[in-house]
Amino acid sequence: MRIYHKSSELKSTVEELKTQNRSIGMVPTMGALHQGHLSLIKQALDENDAVVVSIFVNPTQFNNPEDLEKYPRMLETDVELLKQLSDDIMVFAPSVEDIYGTDVESTSFSYDGLEHEMEGRFRDGHFDGVGTIVKRLFEIAQPDNAYFGEKDFQQLMIIKKLVEKYEIPVNVVGCPIYREDDGLAMSSRNIRLTPAHREASPFIYKTLQAAKVKFGTESAKAVTDWVESEFAANDLLELEYFIIADEQTLKTITEKTNSNTYRGFIAVYAGDVRLIDNIALN
């Protein structure tokens, strides 16, 4: 397994692979790898001749400096996990300077309004940071296919829009949410949960499952009000938002129709750890 710390070195290897007509898959991550990441990487290995896994905690997508500081960084452990999958994975673990130089700032992107919904309302500039790093990674690794989990469904839709609008020759593949046995969506942030908050956190997915059932017979407002009341009665979990949105536009709905598909999106604080999740409603 080779670990690349310089974008120029990875780009040189990738260009050589391209001359051999070998397909390249990519899984961008911020490290602290878990089974959810590994499921994406396994799919990439199955569907491509070569795979790049990037491990880079991107500073421009954090609107909370404390969250950036506390984000887990464990490159050696991550590499050992990857070795168990395949020795052929190319690990890209650049420095901030290699990616950004001396100007650590985001580029401003338009995603046709997708960036203003949900997370965009609560995390100012977040999706400019996401677009900046993903576009840069795509330029370096030149993947044919790139894999992203549906836990960050809004991010997935935004990256698809980025590729479409800026004509980037990458096929973006969305992969199902990978969960713990008790339903908690796997996240690198989960290791920061206290024992009490970890024990309480499956309530998030259980509530989403119940909301899906209710959505079959009740209005979007009624379901939203019910979810908010459930969290108001929970002493350990603080609801930031629950939104029912159209899957394509990500806009919050007031009425549902049989012709559209909808998804419930949620953000919750478990102490100082922010957890997100979502569920298809129809």
Same domain, 59 and 163: yes
* Average pLDDT value over all residues in the chain: 96
> By C-alpha distance, which of 236, 240, 246 is closest to 227?
240
Distance CA 62, CA 67 (A): 7
34 included as an active-site residue: no
pLDDT of 198? 98
Mean pLDDT of 52-79: 93
pLDDT of 15? 97
C-alpha distance across the termini of the chain, in Å: 43
Same domain, 133 and 10: yes
- Is residue 282, in this structure, part of any structural domain at all? no
CATH code assigned at 231: 3.30.1300.10
Please give the residue range of the domain that contains residue 36.
2-175
Residues 194-244 have pLDDT tens digits of 999 999 999 999 999 999 999 999 999 999 999 999 999 999 999 999 999
Q: Is the pLDDT reported for residue 123 higher than 90? A: no
CATH code assigned at 157: 3.40.50.620
Same domain, 154 and 210: no
Interior/surface letters 74-94, b for 16+ CB within 10 angstroms, e for the rest: eeeebbeebeebeeebbbbbb
pLDDT of 132? 97
- Is residue 237, in this structure, part of any structural domain at all? yes
Same domain, 19 and 118: yes
Q: Backbone phi, then psi, for 67, in 5-degree steps?
A: -65, -40
Catalytic choice (5, 34, 37, 197)? 37
- Is residue 212, in this structure, part of any structural domain at all? yes
- Is residue 147, in this structure, part of any structural domain at all? yes
Residues 242-260 have pLDDT tens digits of 999 999 999 999 899 989 9
Q: What percentage of the chain reaches a pLDDT higher than 70?
A: 100
Residues 4-55 have pLDDT tens digits of 999 999 999 999 999 999 999 999 999 999 999 999 999 999 999 999 999 9
Same domain, 165 and 56: yes
- Is residue 279, in this structure, part of any structural domain at all? no
Distance CA 136, CA 244 (A): 32
pLDDT of 183? 98
Domain total for the chain? Answer: 2
pLDDT grade for 95, boundaries at 50, 70 and 90: very high
- Is residue 48, in this structure, part of any structural domain at all? yes
pLDDT of 124? 82
Same domain, 171 and 200: no
pLDDT of 280? 98
Same domain, 147 and 209: no
Q: What DSSP string runs through the chain?
A: -EEE--HHHHHHHHHHHHHTT--EEEEEE-S---HHHHHHHHHHHHH-SEEEEEE---GGG-S-HHHHHHS---HHHHHHHHHHH-TTPEEE---HHHHHTT---PPP---TTGGGSTHHHHSTTHHHHHHHHHHHHHHHH--SEEEEEGGGHHHHHHHHHHHHHTT---EEEEEPPPB-TTSPBP-GGGGGS-HHHHHHTTHHHHHHHHHHHHHTTS-HHHHHHHHHHHHHT-SSEEEEEEEEEETTT-PBPSS--TTS-EEEEEEEEETTEEEEEEEE--
Q: Two tokens at 141?
A: 């690794």
Same domain, 160 and 251: no
- Is residue 118, in this structure, part of any structural domain at all? yes
- Is residue 281, in this structure, part of any structural domain at all? no
Q: What is the pTM of this model?
A: 0.94
Same domain, 39 and 169: yes
pLDDT of 64? 85
Residue appearing with tokens 């309004």: 113
